[in-house]
Amino acid sequence: MNSQPGEIKNKFHISWSGTLAPDSPEYITSILCLPLISLGKSNSGPDWTCILVGFSSGYLRCYTETGSLLLEEQLHNEPILNLKCQSLTSPRHTGDTGLSEEIHVIYESVVCILPGFPFFSTLRACRNHLARVQANYSSDKAPSSGLTFKKLGLRDQDVANDCEVIGTTSVNTFDHLMTASICGGFNASYRSSAPQHNLVMATGKRPYVGFHFALEGGAAPVLSDVAIAMASSLANAIGKIGTAVPWFRASKSSIDKPKVPGTVQEPAEPMTCRFGLSDIMREGHSLIVSPNKTLSVISDAMGRVILINNRRGIALRMWKGYRDAQCGWIEVTEDKRSKGTSKKRSALFLVIYAPKKGIIDIWGVQTGSKITTFTASKNGRLLYVNYGLLGLNDIAPSFPNRPIYSCVFLDPLGGFKEILVPFHFALSSKNGKRARDIHLFKKLKTFLREEEFDDDKLVLEVGNICKDLKTNEIRQQILENLITSRHIIPDVLIKVTEIFNEVLVEQEIESNTKFLVQFCDQIKQVVLFYKFLKSVEKNADFEEDSEESLPGVLLTSEREIKRILKLAESLEEPEKTRVTFKGGFVDFISAFEFGSQVTLKKNVSEDKKELISELIYQNCLEGGSINTWKSEAESSGLQGKVLMELALVYWLSKRPLDLESHLKRFTKLVQGICDREAEDICVDYNDESIWWKDTREILMNSTKLLQALTAALACRSVAISLSASRDKQVKEEGNDEGWENVSKDVCLFTLLIGNLEDIVILNLTLKKPKVDESTQFLALPFEKQEISLGNVISRGQGAISEIVAKWLSASGIEPSKLIDTTDVEFNPKGSSEPVETEEGKKDEQDSDLQDADSLEEIFDKMAMLKCRFPYSLTSSVLLANLTWQYVMFWSKDVTRLDVIEAALTVLRQIPMKSMRQGVCCLLWNIHLKKRMEAAGKLINKLGKLPKERLCTQDVGLSDVQTIIFLEHCVSFLDIFLDAEVLEEDKNTVVKAEELWEGHAGPQAFSALAINQIPGNYDLILLHLQLGYVLHMIAFFGIKSLKPMTSLFESVTSRYFFQDITDKFIFTWYHDDKRDGNRLDFLCRVITASMESIHQETTEDGVDSRQAVLWMSKCTVLASMWKIDCDKLRIHQTCQLYVNGFDQLADEVLTAVNDTETLAVNLLPIAGLRMMSFLSKSPDLLEEVSRISPALTQYLENLNLPGIVITSCSNENNIELIKKVSQYLPDTHNDYHYAQLMLDATFIYRG
């Protein structure tokens, strides 16, 4: 029984009470509750409950939980004996059809079967209507309540007290033919195949158990009926022959036509009782079918309970002494799939409640044995529920549709007790012990998960359960579960291991027994070690430190020790370390893997390792007795490699305040650990020890570089000591050859120490730099870089360059200041070896890390780093990586155009042309080409730069940002063009330090740049021209029809944005139309640039820097296009005069060679100026009458569209007319107009 004494898990409350029978002679005969699921919801709980009530009048009424009537229907005019339900279930195995939703209403002589889908749909409709009525806005009439059902008659059963609809059954052909022959004799009619029957079992009297069959679907005609029907048709065709041939008449057993149900008096479809169990003296009271419909139990008036096989129709077993018995079934599924099966097994148990005896018996159906007997009240009731949720509309649910409580006992006081049976009770005796142990294991897990307990109760309960275990397999599983349980304490594991050891000593020595004994011993030893560590943590007994000097302990020079200690002093002050183990016992014990040896689990987190190492080693390093700890560690069973790894983890995670003292104790501790494994550690001099190799791997991958460096010093001294001890032993044995050997591991440790020292120096520079205030260069956000020696090596030969470049990008230092002419790249004839410095000088540099001015501090740190990494930090390599740092930052947010501008500034400063060329190739191919191509295609398509939406869609930048981006593209292509690599620069090799010797890794960025194929000069020049054009169109908003085709040759335009390294030589040729388009375009740019002068002009004077800049760009582009620049100067001069900038025009005029053309273009401008002056004169007629009529006519005929003359001073107008008269030859057709204007200058003088 699933309950504990005095325990109440659920309480039930009355939701409604009242009288249901409307007529006094009518009374309730049966009740059934239907849990209905809500349509469209994914939860697996009922939405509402419908109560079905059967009455003695034959009425079936449906109510809500609050007693409101939903519908009523009289299906038959007899009292309802029972109501039963069948829920939807999926097929359980091959050949099983599953069960559909049905309601079975049982009368004395008929059974009515209501299909679930229409019935529950009607219930929902009635419930919705009732809700609208109660809300006072109901519809005119209630929904139709006519129920669809099938009525089956029990005509061959004299008394039917109970029945069950088993469902569709099929018979094989042999049994079908044999049954037809036995029932009908030799001349019996038979069907060609066995029909599908619906089996209904009934119990009562005559027969005691009847097996009634109803045909599924329409009745199939027998072969003889088919033959007679054909003969009848033939007789009708030939007239009176049928009277002479009697067998031509139709059979009397004509095919029954289906009848329309719906009335109370409607006759039931008769079922045939093909066989049964007959006992005249016996009367069955109730029939309970199993969940899978294969078995049934019947209780009778003689105090018997009989088990029936539904399919075969035979009685399997009879139990006596169960008068007025109440029965139920329990179906149990195993928790885990058994070996060799793909599905979980299930078992059936029969529950029989005998009220007269006051007991409940549970029987195993598979084994046939009694499982147990409970005492129960004599006035209780056993409730069996064999259905789950309803209203699923024949859609298989995603969850098992089973009852929540299949078998419960209701006592007279209203208490419910659920009856549960573990699955292992269905197993044979062979598996009984294991199944019983599994049950105890579940009990233990339930206790740990749900119960409240103190330490004493925990030890007692776990011990009692473990004493009852019979199999080693479950014992091992319980141990594995306990060492990972968060509730476990050391005393529990010690108790359990002692219990198991007592039992295992008496068993025969088998493989699994040996392993379990070893498992228990290992756990016990580790637990005792834990208790020792906790005891010394509380009662620490400190010993005095050794008086031996640190160089003597580490077996190294004082100079090296001083250098290391100075490095430690230069670091920030360490925080105080934790003094207690914050992890629990489970964190400690669950971190170990128990097997042939006790090792650490592979998935243990670094944080947990730190906690465990702190518990193991903190007391020793704080002054505890190392010898005591050593003896306890040896008896703990922990593998030496585990202790060594945890010792390194602890040392690497701490920054001791007194480094010198702690380092001596740490060295002594490592010596104690290694003494245990000396035989495995010491190998031949030329071999590498796996022990020390793993140790070096841990130190290389640590980001705590100073701790790794000091740990390497300690490990090297221990390795030297072990080698010396071995040498002494060899010498005593007389095998000394007179040579002093140095082991390979000692050499590797020395190399590791030197590399770690270099990386420590590197790490010291990676603090946030002070921003260089002397310049306004862009500084990127600072990012803390966690580095290790292993990380530097794995990142390849470019790691140092990348790390330093990333650090410099946050300083905002001017890139030109990073060029150091003393670098090795500027001294190619020098030694190929790194620059060696004296030890004293290195010591001085390493310790010189005090605060200084930002720029000086950066230079000092760079000088110090270049001593250690001369090849990785040459000016070109460093600036190339710095460029790429800016580029990568810009690629994350392309709208930050100030970043790409900074990148181009750095790029321009790279001294080595081949390096600059390579970086340009990478930058163009990876980042700039596609975006510039998108902008070019967009402008070429629309003839101008569109508004923000289209730009953002195609280019990823707004229209304003696109203009700036195109300007940067021009700057980049100019740098690219300038980085043309000469033949002697093509074989440049990028060198690297010895740090990466023997290690493979990614190619350095500098090497990648050097190895790039140089770009084609002509292609770069072509794209530079395109960049100028696109930038001019975008900046000034000039409209130009397809500029990428109209301004460029058709041969070259197809090479736009192709591979920049293609070896193609362009053929330049002269085309008047194309040159005209180009000249017109440049003139329009010059015209548009005049606006910048107006915008920048102030009271202080005229600012023409932008206009001059654009004019220089136009001149550069014109020279590339081989266009006469004199024409551009003439146009610029004219535009300056038009806009009234005569002083600027005079400056440009001196550079014009073709003064005649200039004068011809200036003549109408001078005329327009005179017209403008005359139009503003108050005495216009008088002034006009004073000048020549020919000049007046000329001025009236002037028509220069788009030109708006800016007012100028009279002196400037007179000066312009003089220049025109001066430059225009007297042979020119318009010369006399110039003279007339010169003669008319008197109008300006008044």
pLDDT digits (tens, 9 = 90+) for 533-543: 988 877 656 66
Q: Which residue type, as a one-letter code, is found at position 1202?
A: G
In a domain, 472, yes or no: yes
Distance of alpha carbon 393 from the chain centroid: 37
Query: Does residue 624 sit within a domain?
Result: yes
Position 513 in a domain: yes
Q: Please state which of the ranges 430-434, 527-531, 687-691 shows the lowest mean pLDDT.
A: 430-434
> Looking at residues 728-752, what average pLDDT do you find?
71
| Pair (434, 510) in one structural domain | yes
pLDDT at 593 over 70: yes
Q: Scanning the structure block, which residue is given the tokens 């050997």?
A: 741
Residues 1043 and 943: beta-carbon distance below 8 Å:
yes
Q: Which ranges of 831-912 would DSSP assign to H, the alpha helix? A: 839-847, 854-868, 875-892, 897-908
At 372 the three-state DSSP class reads strand
> How far, in Å, CA of 888 to CA of 484, rounded?
46
Alpha-carbon distance of 1113 to 1130, in angstroms, equals 16
The chain-wide mean pLDDT, for the chain, equals 84
Task: State the burial class of residue 1174 (Cβ atoms within 10 Å of its Cβ: 0-12, 13-18, 19+).
Answer: middle
**642 and 563 in one domain?**
yes
CA nearest to 760, candidates 708, 724, 689: 708
509 and 576 together in one domain: no
Q: Are 562 and 624 within one domain?
A: yes
- Please tell me the distance from the alpha carbon of residue 962 to that of residue 931, in angstroms, as a whole number: 10
The answer to whether the beta carbons of residues 1047 and 1074 sit under 8 Å apart is yes
pLDDT value at residue 830: 47
> CA torsion, points 122, 128, 133, 134, in degrees to nearest 10?
130
Domain count, the chain: 4
- The helix-helix angle for 511-538 and 490-506 (nearest 10°) equals 150
User: What pLDDT does 1208 receive?
Assistant: 83
Q: And the tokens for 508? A: 């025969």
pLDDT at 1209: 85
Where is the domain boundary, 999, 1034, 1069?
Answer: 1034
pLDDT grade, residue 263 (50/70/90)? low
Q: Both 682 and 753 in a single domain?
A: yes
Q: What is the DSSP letter of 38?
A: P
Report whether 329 contacts 407 (CB < 8 A). Answer: yes
Other beta carbons less than 10 A from residue 698's beta carbon:
17
Instruction: Give me the amino acid identity at 819.
Output: I
1099 pLDDT above the threshold of 60: no
Examine the pLDDT at 23 and tell me if it is beyond 50. Answer: yes
Tell me the CB-side half-sphere exposure of residue 612, using CA atoms within 13 A.
Answer: 28
The residue assigned the tokens 């990348």 is: 802
DSSP class of 206: S
Give the range among 37-51, 57-71, 191-205, 756-770 with minimum mean pLDDT. Answer: 37-51
556 and 456 fall within a common domain = no
Domain end among 758, 793, 808: 758
20 to each of 66, 127, 130, how far by Cα in Å? 11, 18, 17
Neighbour count for residue 1241 (Cβ, 10 Å): 17
246 Cβ partners below 8 Å, 6+ apart?
Answer: none
Element (H, E) at 1033: helix 1017-1036
Residue-level pLDDT at 226: 43
CA distance 802 to 999: 18
| Residue 948 near residue 959 (C-beta atoms within 8 A) | yes
Judged by DSSP in three states, 869 sits in: coil
Section 553-572 average pLDDT: 86
Other CB atoms within a 10 A radius of the CB of residue 447 amount to 16
Q: Which of 651, 582, 655, 657 has its CA nearest to residue 620? A: 651
| Of residues 1077, 1065, 1171, 1079, the one with CA closest to residue 1118 | 1079
Q: To the nearest 10°, report the CA torsion of 888, 890, 894, 898.
A: -160
Tens of pLDDT, residues 862-899: 999 999 999 999 999 999 999 999 999 999 999 999 99
Task: Answer yes or no: do 835 and 977 share one domain.
Answer: yes
In a domain, 1213, yes or no: yes
What is the C-alpha separation between 1163 and 940, in angstroms, rounded? 37
Identify whether 1000 is part of a domain. Answer: yes
Q: With respect to residue 874, please indicate whether it lies within any of the assigned structural domains.
A: yes
Distance CA(334)–CA(631), nearest Å, equals 49
pLDDT beyond 60 at 840:
no
Q: What angle do CA 839, 549, 788 make, to 5 degrees?
A: 55
Residue 520 in domain: yes
CA dihedral sign of residues 238, 244, 246, 252: positive
The Cα–Cα gap between 614 and 971 comes to 59
Pairwise CA distance, residues 950 & 362, whole Å: 80
Q: What is the mean pLDDT of residues 728-742?
A: 58
Average pLDDT over residues 323-348: 80
Cα distances from 241 to residues 227, 232, 233, 237, in angstroms, run 17, 10, 12, 9
Quote the domain boundaries for residue 441.
428-536
pLDDT for 573: 52
Report the chain's terminal Cα–Cα distance, integer Å.
128
Structure tokens at 322: 């169960």
Q: Is the separation of the CB atoms in 131 and 194 below 8 Å?
A: no
The model's confidence at residue 511, banded by pLDDT at 50, 70 and 90, is: low
Rounded CA Rg of the chain: 52
- pLDDT value of residue 264: 75
Q: Are 490 and 530 in contact (CB under 8 A)?
A: yes
Comparing C-alpha atoms, which of 106, 99, 112, 231 is closest to residue 166? 99
SS3 assignment, position 286:
strand
What confidence score (pLDDT) does residue 207 get? 93
In 3D space, the residue among 1031, 1032, 1034, 1030 whose CA is nearest the CA of residue 1044 turns out to be 1030
Pair 771, 746 in one domain? no
User: How far apart (Å, rounded) are the C-alpha atoms in residues 718 and 720?
Assistant: 5
Give residue 19's pLDDT: 84
Contact between 478 and 496 under an 8 Å Cβ cutoff? The reply is yes
Alpha-carbon distance 479 to 494, whole Å?
11
| pLDDT tens by residue, 125-154 | 899 889 888 887 665 566 766 788 899 999
How big is the CA angle at 732 (ends 729 and 736), to the nearest 5 degrees?
A: 85
Do both 438 and 497 map to the same domain? yes
Q: Which residue has the tokens 């939807």?
A: 88
Q: Would you say residue 1166 has pLDDT above 70?
A: yes
Domain end call among 1019, 1034, 1049: 1034
pLDDT (0 to 100) of residue 576: 45
What is the distance between the alpha carbons of residues 266 and 256, in angstroms, rounded to a whole number?
15
Residues 6+ apart with CB under 8 A from 1222: 1159
Q: What average pLDDT score do residues 301-311 get?
A: 92
Ramachandran assignment for 185, one of left (phi > 0), alpha (psi -120 to 50 degrees), beta (any other): left
Looking at residues 451-463, what average pLDDT do you find?
86
Q: Is residue 1069 part of a domain?
A: no
- 406-443 core/surface letters (b: 16 or more CB in 10 A; e: else): bbbbeeeeeeebbbebbbbbbbeeeeebebbbbebbee
- Looking at the structure, tell me whether residues 829 and 877 fall in a common domain: yes
What whole-number distance in Å separates Cα of residue 785 and Cα of residue 806?
A: 9
Q: Do 963 and 1029 fall into the same domain?
A: yes
SS (HEC) of 604-641: CCHHHHHHHHHHHHHHHHCCECHHHHHHHHHHCCECHH
Percent over 90 (pLDDT), the chain: 43
868 vs 165, 290, 817, 1235, CA distance in Å? 92, 85, 20, 81
Q: Is the dihedral of CA 670, 675, 676, 677 positive or negative?
A: positive
- Please tell me whether residues 490 and 630 are part of one structural domain: no
